A and B are shown apart, each in its own frame.
Chain A
Amino acid sequence: MPGYAAEVTFSIPEPWGRLLLLLVFFVPFAVVGWNLRHSRVSREEAQLGNWSGYADAGPDAPGLHARLMSRQSGRVIGVLVVWAGGFGVLALLDRLTPPAIVLTIPLGALVGAALGQLRELPAARGPRVASMRPRQLTDYVLPVERNVAVGSALLPALGAAVVAVGAIAGTPSSRTSALAIALLLATIIVGLGLGSIGRSLIAAPIDARGPAGVAWSEIIRAQNLRDLLVGTVFVNTGGSLLALLVFRHREAAHVPDWVWAVALLVCGAGLLAFVILALTGIADRTFHWARTHALAGVAP
């Protein structure tokens, strides 16, 4: 008796198949990330209790819990937006996991967290307190961190100068120059956007009822601002380097070697900036700077 062999083949159009594959990873990540928010908030509350000197936020505890939860939600949504947007578009175009998009996931997380921090929550009723000092960036992060972030803004300008000189010299095609300039413009716009979010974070009111609430809120503000500075350096360095690489790669034969030298300089400066930020972040991981400056006269 002859045997039967059956074979069923499903065929999904190529871009949609890639999208489906993305969803297979996307949905579990979204569910797990969303459900982990509570445990992350609990961990953050324990850390804030240790760092601030106030084990409990007292009457501000419910409001701060809601604020931390909003921040965690923003973080997850930020990652998902980058994932769904960036990966989805690229999957539809042609590629599945280009490294540049993977690197933007932390950026989505920190921007989402900052927007979650800025999200307006209903203010609790009752007498409020305020710290009688003006807020400024260097109360929350070390001056060296601020200077590194401000200095990194020179990198897109350096990239633009290289592209402009190349375009004037007529070495690359106008299309290559336009692409590099578009990337640099995008870098500058995202950098300015991060700066604007940072200023909003500094200006955002505390909405606290006791010294513990003020102390906790100010440490959260310092965390957000430090994350944003790292993001700014990442965008300025990564965007500038990408633009220069596009400029060099597209018309390698026509672009002089000094473009490589400038690209290496950008890469080196970016690396140095990250090393400095990493070292200051490690040295000040308990936010001692913010506690002694932003919380002078507040912490017990």
Chain B
Amino acid sequence: MILRLDPDSATPAYEQIVTQVLAAIRAGELPAGSRLPTVRQLAGDLGIATNTVAKAYRQLESDGVVHTGGRNGTVVAARPDGAQAEEVRAAAVIFVRAAQREGVDLAAALGVIRQAW
């Protein structure tokens, strides 16, 4: 995964890092257990202060997205079951609304899901 930082953006650098790491995790580019670069390495590559990267990593850790500790450094955390269920539930709501808009009944909608499975 390539992280891009725009120094001219109105979004603070640490937020840019958090947003992109979250997006990469969601997209599966950073699967659970992936090690992230050290604070010093990422700061050096991006040409920013180590405090900025440390702040982003702290934010990700407090969100439960990564965990830091020991020799492994900062590692992408396994997604809790609840989070997975939440995502599926949210997708289901969107699907149901779309089906209702189109006038598709439950049996036909389940058929669509079976087909897509």
Contacts and interface: CB of A to CB of B under 8 A. Distances in A.
Interface of A: 123, 127-135, 203-208, 211, 214, 297-298
Contacts of A135: 37, 41
Contacts of B24: 132
Contacts of A123: 47
A10 B42 CA distance: 64
Given A203-B41, A205-B44, A132 B7 contact: no
Contact of A131 (B44, B45, B73): B45
Contact of B2 (A203, A205, A298): A298
15 contacts: A127-B7, A128-B4, A128-B46, A129-B2, A129-B5, A131-B45, A132-B1, A133-B1, A133-B35, A134-B35, A134-B37, A134-B73, A203-B44, A206-B45, A211-B2
Q: Is the interface of A mostly helix, strand, loop or mixed?
A: loop
- Looking at B29, B38, B46, the one whose CB has the most chain A CB atoms below 10 A away is B46
Interface of B: 1-8, 21, 24, 29-30, 34-38, 40-42, 44-47, 73
B2 A132 contact: yes
Given A129-B46, A205-B45, A205-B47, 20 more contacts: A123-B47, A127-B5, A127-B6, A127-B8, A128-B4, A128-B7, A129-B3, A129-B45, A130-B3, A130-B42, A131-B1, A132-B1, A132-B3, A133-B34, A133-B36, A134-B37, A134-B41, A207-B47, A211-B2, A298-B2
Contacts of A208: 45
Contact of A127 (B4, B29, B35, B38): B4
Contacts of A133: 1, 34-37
Nearest to B72: A134
Contact of B46 (A130, A134, A204): A130
B3 A134 contact: no
B47 to A, nearest CB: 5
A297 B45 contact: no
Contact of A128 (B29, B38, B41, B45): B45
